[in-house]
Amino acid sequence: MKIPIRIVSDMLEVDAYAICNKYNKRGPVTFIIDTGSPISSLGEKDVMALGLDVKDFPHYTGTPIGGIGGKAVTYVIEEVTLVLGIATGSETFCPNETLYYHKGREYRKTVRKEGKVYERESLFRTPSILGTNMMKKYGMVLHLDFKAKECYLGYD
Amino acid sequence: MRNTAFTTLEDLGLDRSEVLEKIQEKQSNQKWLQEHMDELRERYPDKYVAVSGKKVALSAKHLPELIQKLNKKFKEKDLTTFAVDLVTKEKVIWVL
């Protein structure tokens, strides 16, 4: 049984269908597989496209979560069911998972001494991430062969 | 099939063909966006774009603005099927 993974710009993408039971929202979400992340997250664009409202999410209060961009304000998205492998008939159900949402940086304005106002922006692009917690929990094996361009999630 | 609490999509109240269609539509839009990224950099530098049906449906400077515009213009459409991404003026290597 194989859940296909696409290699796009040397990143690993897997298709899922997300059902946010608590908020009655659902839709396809593309996750980046990140073996360096022990948690899984929904990216900003996916949260917004699903019609989820950050104001409904409880704040995450556990151990701070950091990345290359530093620490982000994190929210908890509870009761999310993910279904992987639909396109190939190899459905894997990950029911009632807790995902996280890392809020993008705010836009800031800086006033210079000369009286000129410059708008400083941070480019923030958070993808949805499938972390190692999911692979571990569901016993998934990541098969990755860049040379053969073959990549999939399978099971023992 | 790997089973947990559910055995089929129907158990979740989902229609298989509808779900599959949406996943494929999103995939197709993402593929088009990826393939046309270089030319989009010239037309939409540092803007968020939403792609549907092999064209840019809308663009905006900020993501919330784009989603708001999409909701207004495509009331009947499922926004999750659009490919949405930030088109940076210059190529950026994103790390997680």
H helices present in chain A, as ranges:
44-49, 132-137
Kindly list the distances between the CA atom of residue A30 and the CA atoms of A47, A138, B3, B31, B59, in Å, as whole numbers in the listed order. 12, 19, 21, 12, 20
For chain A, list the strands marked E by DSSP. 2-4, 6-8, 11-20, 25-33, 66-67, 70-71, 74-84, 92-102, 108-111, 117-120, 128-130, 140-145, 150-155
Q: Give the whole-angstrom CA distance, residue A86 versus residue A69.
A: 33
What's the whole-model pTM score? 0.89
Taking CB atoms and an 8 Å cutoff, what residues of chain B touch A81? 6, 12
Burial per residue of A41-59, b for 16 or more beta-carbon CB atoms within 10 angstroms, e otherwise: bbbbbbbbbbbbeeeebee
A24 touches chain B (CB under 8 A): no
Kindly list the distances between the CA atom of residue B33 and the CA atoms of A6, A69, A121, B46, B79, in Å, as whole numbers in the listed order. 15, 25, 24, 15, 15
Residue of A44, A87, A93 lying closest to B6 (CB–CB): A93
A74 phi/psi in degrees, rounded to 5: -120, 140
A89 touches chain B (CB under 8 A): yes
Residue of B12, B81, B82 lying closest to A19 (CB–CB): B12
Taking CB atoms and an 8 Å cutoff, what residues of chain A touch B96? 32, 34, 36-37, 67-68, 127, 129
Contact B79 A51 (CB under 8 A): yes
Per-residue pLDDT of chain B (96 residues; tens, 9 = 90+): 454 556 789 988 999 999 999 999 999 999 999 999 999 999 999 999 999 999 999 999 999 999 999 999 999 999 999 999 999 998 888 776
Shortest Cα distance, chain B CAs vs residue A65, angstroms: 12
Shortest Cα distance, chain A CAs vs residue B84, angstroms: 7
Q: For chain B, what are the domain ranges?
A: 14-87
In CATH, the number for domain A2-155 is 2.40.70.10
To the nearest whole percent, how much of chain A has pLDDT over 70?
85
